[in-house]
Amino acid sequence: MRSGRCPKCEGQKIATTKYAQYLGAGVSGPTFRLFACADCRYTEQYLEEPVEQRVKVLDSWRWLKDEKGPFR
């Protein structure tokens, strides 16, 4: 999608925008880049900053598998 082609329908009419998620109480959440295909309406979103930063800062973000073992 970031290359300008939709992976679902191969369309090339892709719109993009950047937005920040607001978590309330003055807490700014992650910033995303959103891509949307005008032909099939398929969308993808990507974090603008590294995921590791979000996990360290926000209590609600967790790794699916932590380094302590193979189970969640």
Q: Quickly count: other Cβ atoms within 10 Å of residue 37's Cβ.
A: 21
17-71 pLDDT per residue, tens? 998 877 777 767 778 999 999 999 999 999 887 777 666 666 666 667 766 655 5
Q: Are 5 and 13 in contact (CB under 8 A)?
A: no
This prediction's pTM: 0.66
Q: How far apart are CA 7 and CA 17, in angstroms?
A: 18
Closest by CA to 19, choosing from 41, 42, 48, 43, is 48
Q: Where are the domains of the chain?
A: 1-72
User: For 14, which DSSP code?
Assistant: E
